[in-house]
Amino acid sequence: MPDFPTAQDAEDAFYDAIEERDPERLRAVWEDSPDIACLLPMQPLLIGERVHDALAPVMSGEIPLDIQVRHLRWVNAGDVAIHYVEERVHLPGRPPQPPVYATNVFRRSATGWHLILHQNAPTPPPPGAMAGGMGPPGGMA
Amino acid sequence: MPDFPTAQDAEDAFYDAIEERDPERLRAVWEDSPDIACLLPMQPLLIGERVHDALAPVMSGEIPLDIQVRHLRWVNAGDVAIHYVEERVHLPGRPPQPPVYATNVFRRSATGWHLILHQNAPTPPPPGAMAGGMGPPGGMA
């Protein structure tokens, strides 16, 4: 199993593992602890081992994925790092998907940096598009 | 300005401030730094001072809010704490809103614990309801 000397190394391995649909590599990116969590829109909050279970279908797909990641902001907080990114997932032969925001939180331990939270958020609709019914202020807090 | 001896104290003050529409109290919950971020569904990623600007309309409302917060999970990571909660916002005379997940990340400094990230996520639709078009696996990574 690789150790990740920086949070960015772990993040690069995370997206590489998904692109390559490599479940072992993906698992190695997550911290080996019950603390890990994954939160995807309209999906139940996933904690601990359920994170791996829920990602299994994604990893078993056969269509290659191309994920473009744009870094928006990094916050370094000692042994925790928070990365705000924008993801664009490209599937061959499919129309482009709208981008999503992702928040990736990494924690440093004796074995290096690992992912403890992956959370996605829908981005604003393009100008002129319907905004949908979920936006704040009603949904704010 | 109050200091918050625990992350939970800061979280309690966060929701109290929103319920009471008290912008000064709300501002005091956030860390006084350019690192703070707020991510609400279908909204642009807000960083730093823009967090306060974006929350101003919520705080200027006159309808009392009743926010029920259910704790789902806490992750303690040294000087950082991650709280996963479910929020239910009740507005008098309005039908109940669907719950939302929230991820609140707090950081400890010399002046106590403060909020550095508030991120919401839509919860799964109730059984039998339309799931919408945003779910994984297509939207996963």
Provide ipTM, 2 decimals: 0.84
Q: Is residue B51 part of a domain?
A: yes
Q: Which of A42, A97, A136 is the closest to B58 by Cβ?
A: A136
Q: What is the CATH number of the domain that holds B66?
A: 3.10.450.50
State which residues form the domain around B49.
Answer: 7-122
Tokens standing for residue A32:
């080996």
- What total number of domains does chain A contain? 1
In contact, A41 and A120? CB cutoff 8 Å: yes
- pLDDT score recorded for residue A135: 38
Dihedral of the CA atoms B128, B133, B137, B140 (nearest 10)?
Answer: -120
Q: What residue type is A23 in one-letter code?
A: P
- Please give the mean pLDDT across all residues of chain B: 87
The percentage of chain B sitting over the pLDDT mark of 70, rounded to a whole number, equals 89
Whole-model pTM: value is: 0.87
pLDDT on residue A100? 93
Question: Could you tell me if residue B132 is inside a domain?
Answer: no
Q: Using one digit for the tens of pLDDT, what is the confidence trace for B74-123?
A: 999 999 999 999 999 988 888 888 899 999 999 999 999 999 999 998 89
Q: What is the pLDDT of residue B129?
A: 66
- What residues of B are in contact with residue A75 (Cβ under 8 Å)? 35, 37, 116-117
d(C-alpha B125, C-alpha A43), whole Å: 8
Nearest residue of chain A to residue B39 (CA atoms)? A121
Query: Does residue A127 belong to any structural domain of this protein?
Result: no
Report the percent of chain B where pLDDT is more than 90.
63
Across the A:B interface, residue pairs with CB atoms under 8 Å apart total: 169
Looking at residue A32, its pLDDT comes to: 96
Q: Report if residue B129 sits inside a domain.
A: no
Q: What is the DSSP letter of A15?
A: H
Residues 6+ away with beta carbon under 8 Å from B48: B33, B34, B35, B36
Within 8 A of B136 by CB-CB distance, chain A residues are: 40, 43, 58
Distance from CA of B28 to the nearest CA of A (A): 17
Does residue A140 lie in a domain region? no
- CB contact under 8 Å between A45 and B139, yes or no, is no
**Residue A102 reports pLDDT greater than 90:** yes
CA distance B107 to chain A (A): 8
